[in-house]
């Protein structure tokens, strides 16, 4: 029973009937020393099929852009607007990470992993047990005086900080990942049910490395 526990999920329904998984509290101690994680960090493109246990998934999402202080995150953000949103696509559907609750809310029942792989050579992304899809809410960036900031530049910078957290957390946990820019926003936006002004900025397949 003890061995099974890390794989158990707290699945429920929100008051709107949306499927919800409450993730186990993030592990905020231990892991690999930072310099060793940096030494181990690399891109992986071959994954085993085994799914990622909920504890590791929750730890990864928290590392990427969870709350580590009251209202503040594990990665910096321009103007502290915290516009990065994380989605998880895996065989049981597409899920949005809710960082305040440390939970996943289902947005699609279908397996849409293939939608992250815009090109044939990128099929490895469709076959990984899951991908994290980074979305940026451009609505959060205000006009400053008479100057509109270059929103996409900020979106990509904010995404980069969170993405490096995923690389390092994966290295620490013995998981593999790869930053991927070769996706089409228009393939992903409808299946993730993205609202106007939300843009897909990066995809990162995650799995146990094949070798």
Ligand X SMILES: Cc1cc2nc3c(=O)[nH]c(=O)nc-3n(C[C@H](O)[C@H](O)[C@H](O)COP(=O)(O)O)c2cc1C
Q: Which residues bind ligand X (CB under 6 A)?
A: 42-43, 45, 122, 178-182
Angle between helix axes 54-65 and 151-173 (nearest 10 degrees) is 140
The residue (of 166 and 178) whose beta carbon lies closer to ligand X is: 178
Q: How far is the CB of 135 from ligand X (least distance, A)?
A: 15
Decide the pairing of beta strands 103-108 and 198-207. unpaired
- The span from the CA of 69 to the CA of 35, in Å, is 24
Q: Tell me which residue of 21, 14, 19, 204 sits closest to 109, measured CA to CA.
A: 19
Compute the least distance from the CB of residue 128 to ligand X, in Å: 12
Q: How far is the CB of 124 from ligand X (least distance, A)?
A: 8
42 or 184: CB nearest ligand X? 42
The burial class, CB within 10 Å (0-12 / 13-18 / 19+), for 186 is exposed
Q: Specify whether the CB–CB gap between 57 and 88 falls below 8 A.
A: yes
- In the complex, the smallest distance separating the C-beta of residue 175 from ligand X, rounded to whole angstroms, is 14
The residue (of 55 and 201) whose beta carbon lies closer to ligand X is 201
DSSP line for 162-202: HHHHHHHHHHHHT-EE--B--S-HHHHHHHTTPPTTEEEEE
Given the complex with ligand X, which of 106 and 180 has the nearer CB atom? 180
Task: Choose between 97 and 134: whose C-beta lies nearer to ligand X.
Answer: 134
**Please, which residues have CB within 8 angstroms of residue 72's CB and are 6 or more apart in sequence?**
80
Nearest to 181 by CA among 207, 209, 166, 201: 201
Q: How far is the CB of 170 from ligand X (least distance, A)?
A: 11
Give CA–CA dist 34/199, Å, rounded.
Answer: 31
Of residues 20 and 45, the one with the C-beta less far from ligand X: 45
Shortest separation between residue 163's beta carbon and ligand X, angstroms:
7
């Amino acid at each position: 029973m003890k061995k099974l526990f890390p794989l158990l999920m707290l699945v429920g329904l929100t008051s709107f009937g949306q499927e919800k998984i409450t993730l186990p509290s993030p592990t905020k101690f231990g892991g690999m020393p930072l310099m060793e994680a940096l030494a181990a960090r690399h891109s992986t493109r071959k994954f085993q099929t085994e799914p990622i246990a909920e504890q590791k998934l929750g730890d990864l999402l928290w590392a990427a852009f969870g709350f580590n202080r009251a209202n503040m995150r594990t990665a910096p953000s321009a103007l502290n607007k915290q516009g990065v949103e994380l989605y998880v696509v895996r065989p049981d559907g597409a899920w949005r990470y809710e960082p305040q609750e440390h939970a996943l809310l289902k947005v699609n029942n279908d397996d849409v992993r293939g939608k992250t792989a815009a090109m044939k050579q990128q099929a490895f992304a469709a076959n990984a047990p899951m991908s994290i899809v980074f979305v940026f809410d451009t609505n959060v960036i205000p006009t400053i005086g008479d100057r509109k900031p270059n929103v996409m530049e900020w979106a990509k910078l904010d995404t980069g900080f969170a993405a490096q957290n995923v690389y390092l957390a994966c290295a620490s946990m013995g998981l593999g990942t790869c930053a991927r820019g070769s996706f089409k926003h228009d393939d992903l936006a409808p299946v993730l049910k993205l609202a106007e002004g939300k843009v897909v900025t990066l995809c990162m397949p995650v799995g146990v490395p094949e070798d």
